Structure 1
Amino acid sequence: MSTLEEPEVRTWNFPRGTASVAVMTEFAGEHGVPLARMLADTGVSVAQLGDPEAQVSAEAELAVVRNLVREVTDVPALGVEVGRRYRISTFGIFGYACVTSPTLREAISLALRYYRLGFAFCTPIVESRPHEVITWIHHDTIPADVQRFLVERDIVAMHRVMSDLLGARVDFSSAEFCYPATDQVDRMTALFGVRPRFDRAHTIFGIDPDLLTRPLPQANQPTWAVCVAQCRELLHRRSARTGIAAEVRDRLLPGSGTTGFSTPPSLDAVARDLNLSTRTLRRHLVAAGTSYRALLDEVRQALAEEMLTATPLSVDDIAIRLGYAEATPFIHAFKRWTGTTPAAHRRAHRRD
């Protein structure tokens, strides 16, 4: 039997901090590329790179990536080399929350839950099997001209971060890429601890499942709780809904915060209400860094938390009011949203 975990959104088009841009511009600078050329036509300013509160769009980072690929042509396996520059410290409070997690499994779950606080363009889906944990790397929506660079950058960054978390080198148990091999196979073998295979049907990597239960050397429950709360607040600030996302979210909200909805309006219904085609609405939401599913999850989470703390409704009743056929999928969804179960949330936040 296997279980799947995936990020809260399956799009790379979300606002992000500037740390990733800083990593790439620093790398380019070491190879003789001036900062001005790296930031040309990106909309990113030098001042933003030094501002820990600054945000840039995914399209802006993508423009930096294109400048890097165009300007640095003498580095074999450029994505691999840039990916090695991403350390757990690159991710700020998000990274520190992962470091202080109890186990690698908890750190991975947290990373997926707060995926939008990172810099990945690939979408990782983690499948836990009895004898191997497989991460499926979805990259079909990444533009073709930078797809290989970003696949290699993101996978190597994930590998480097897992090694940082465990305080020791992590060897992959398998690695497959859905594009042709290069002359850098030996370099990647030395890095991953396994010879990658190319021209495969999917891009994946595997690790030993025993790694998931290994305690992290810097695990600290009180610190972890504080960091997770800060991650939640940071994501809330970045996700403040305006424009089309706010309009869709408003239409997903029922009349009362404690009544819920038995059947949420569909994407098609919301589009009709906004006088848009479904395709156009979906495109606008992607441009805003979100999706119908993500907005529906936001509304469901807010309603669930309100009903758990302000009403005596059972978990089954709340699930039905949120549009679930039964409690089990609601419990799984709530744990994906918050990292805890509805019952545990109620115990911790019940109003007197």
Structure 2
Amino acid sequence: MSRLKHTIYAEVLLQHHAAMFRPFLERAGLGLDVLDHPEQQIPLSNYVHLLEIAAEELDPALGLKLGQGLYNDKPNVTMLGGFGYAVRAAADVRALLEFAVRYLVVHAQANELSWQVAGDQLEIRYRISDPSITLRQQDAEYAFAALYTRLREVTANKFAALRVDFAHERPADTSEHEKAFGCPVRFDQPDNLMVWPLAMLDEPLVTADPRLFQALQPGLEEARRQRLADTDLTARLGLAIEACLGSGISLDEIASQLCMSKRTLQRRLQDLGLEFNDLVEEIRQALAIDLVRRSSLNLTEIATRLGYNESSSFTRAFRRWTGLSPREFRQQAERG
């Protein structure tokens, strides 16, 4: 689990689907109290892990179906609290996207949404910025299915998506993906990307509610300022550590990259309850597992990229983390 301590407000999702998630909470490192307190922050890494466990046990398309609301017993219920209600109340799709980009951090600290115009198309991207969270298929599919469903709803189904890309590998069965989005769906792509006709950008929302939108914004702005203070540091810290793994890493070097003194960084880490060496080890472990599982690099190249001078040292560390050698782990992953 990530020691970067990014958090998410599980909101109504876990509470509304308590029967579904209750059997897997302990395996994901969560307590039963998260089902009774939807206002409680929980570690993002545990939440993402919970989705993966539930999907493995119940349904490989769990994220897609949750995002579409197929498990909901109430139509149009939002699982995102105040943030979700404000999104539906925006004036048009442009305002919806601008709001979501700015305030998604209030709901989840390391989840990022962005959009851009590319010719006659609208491109929307989504990612988790925490590099230590590597298994994220269900989160990505839940996020895009929810966004797709919401955009279709608030525009009265006037527009259809042109293409959906996912960064994770292609599942064995993609029939649910094709049914969910009604357009070409690709996997193993550089980004989680959803493409729409540009004309949708200025479409008024049928759910627009200017008074509600304005009423919710001040509280969300205050929450955003508080969340960003920690999010900015932890995101930059994780990326700086990842970039330095192969060339030698030290607290002084990371402090320099973050444009702060070593003493200041030590104090900020203490405030966040983080130990620098433990954090480096966790990020190295997460990247090692991801590279061995997914990349085409040979094991010597992976060891070098992670800062090991000898492949034997990397093998010993990998066996300590997983109980398998890198070669055994890769063979097991290839067999599925």
TM range (shorter): 0.5 to 0.7
2:42 counterpart residue number: 56
1:272 counterpart residue number: 262
Question: What SS does structure 1 have at the residue aligned with 2:78?
Answer: helix
The answer on whether the counterparts of 1:100 and 1:223 sit within 8 Å (CA) in structure 2 is yes
1:18 counterpart residue number: 10
The answer on whether the counterparts of 1:24 and 1:68 sit within 8 Å (CA) in structure 2 is no
Shift of residue 58 of structure 1?
1.3
Specify whether residues 272 and 182 from structure 1 end up closer, same or farther in structure 2 by C-alpha distance, changes over 3 A only.
Answer: closer
Counterparts of 1:172-321 in structure 2, within 5 Å, are: 172-236=161-225, 268-274=258-264, 276=266
Question: What SS does structure 2 have at the residue aligned with 1:61?
Answer: helix
1:166 aligns with 2:155: yes
Question: What SS does structure 2 have at the residue aligned with 1:125?
Answer: strand
The answer on whether the counterparts of 1:101 and 1:221 sit within 8 Å (CA) in structure 2 is yes
Q: Please report the TM-score for the alignment, with normalisation by the length of structure 2.
A: 0.60
The whole-number CA distance in structure 2 between the counterparts of 1:234 and 1:147 is: 26
Per-residue CA deviations over 1:26-54 (Å, capped at 9, x if unaligned) read 4xx35xx7x2x322054543333232432
1:97 counterpart (59, 68, 86) = 86
Specify whether residues 198 and 57 from structure 1 end up closer, same or farther in structure 2 by C-alpha distance, changes over 3 A only.
Answer: closer
2:124 counterpart residue number: 135
Per-residue CA deviations over 1:12-71 (Å, capped at 9, x if unaligned) read 963222226516854xx35xx7x2x32205454333323243221213313423432443
Unaligned runs of 5+ in 1: 1-11, 249-264, 289-352
1:328 counterpart residue number: none
Question: What SS does structure 2 have at the residue aligned with 1:102?
Answer: coil
Unaligned runs of 5+ in 2: 238-254, 280-336
2:62 counterpart (53, 71, 78) = 78
Shift of residue 110 of structure 1?
0.5
Residues paired across the two proteins, number: 249
The answer on whether the counterparts of 1:83 and 1:155 sit within 8 Å (CA) in structure 2 is yes
Specify whether residues 194 and 121 from structure 1 end up closer, same or farther in structure 2 by C-alpha distance, changes over 3 A only.
Answer: farther
The answer on whether the counterparts of 1:271 and 1:281 sit within 8 Å (CA) in structure 2 is no
Question: What SS does structure 2 have at the residue aligned with 1:116?
Answer: helix
Shift of residue 237 of structure 1?
5.7
The answer on whether the counterparts of 1:122 and 1:151 sit within 8 Å (CA) in structure 2 is no
- The one-letter code sitting in structure 2 at the alignment partner of 1:134 is E
The answer on whether the counterparts of 2:161 and 2:183 sit within 8 Å (CA) in structure 1 is yes
Q: Please report the TM-score for the alignment, with normalisation by the length of structure 1.
A: 0.58
Specify whether residues 179 and 230 from structure 1 end up closer, same or farther in structure 2 by C-alpha distance, changes over 3 A only.
Answer: closer
The whole-number CA distance in structure 2 between the counterparts of 1:241 and 1:78 is: 31
- The one-letter code sitting in structure 2 at the alignment partner of 1:113 is R
2:286 counterpart residue number: none
Question: What SS does structure 1 have at the residue aligned with 2:97?
Answer: helix
The answer on whether the counterparts of 2:6 and 2:109 sit within 8 Å (CA) in structure 1 is no
Specify whether residues 149 and 222 from structure 1 end up closer, same or farther in structure 2 by C-alpha distance, changes over 3 A only.
Answer: closer
Specify whether residues 187 and 229 from structure 1 end up closer, same or farther in structure 2 by C-alpha distance, changes over 3 A only.
Answer: same
Question: What SS does structure 1 have at the residue aligned with 2:261?
Answer: helix
- The one-letter code sitting in structure 2 at the alignment partner of 1:91 is L
Question: What SS does structure 1 have at the residue aligned with 2:194?
Answer: strand
1:305 counterpart residue number: none
Question: What SS does structure 2 have at the residue aligned with 1:155?
Answer: helix
The whole-number CA distance in structure 2 between the counterparts of 1:183 and 1:105 is: 35
The whole-number CA distance in structure 2 between the counterparts of 1:89 and 1:54 is: 17
- The one-letter code sitting in structure 2 at the alignment partner of 1:184 is D
The whole-number CA distance in structure 1 between the counterparts of 2:217 and 2:257 is: 31
1:304 counterpart residue number: none
The whole-number CA distance in structure 2 between the counterparts of 1:277 and 1:47 is: 31
Q: Provide the identity percentage.
A: 15
**What is the root-mean-square deviation of aligned Cα atoms in Å?**
4.1
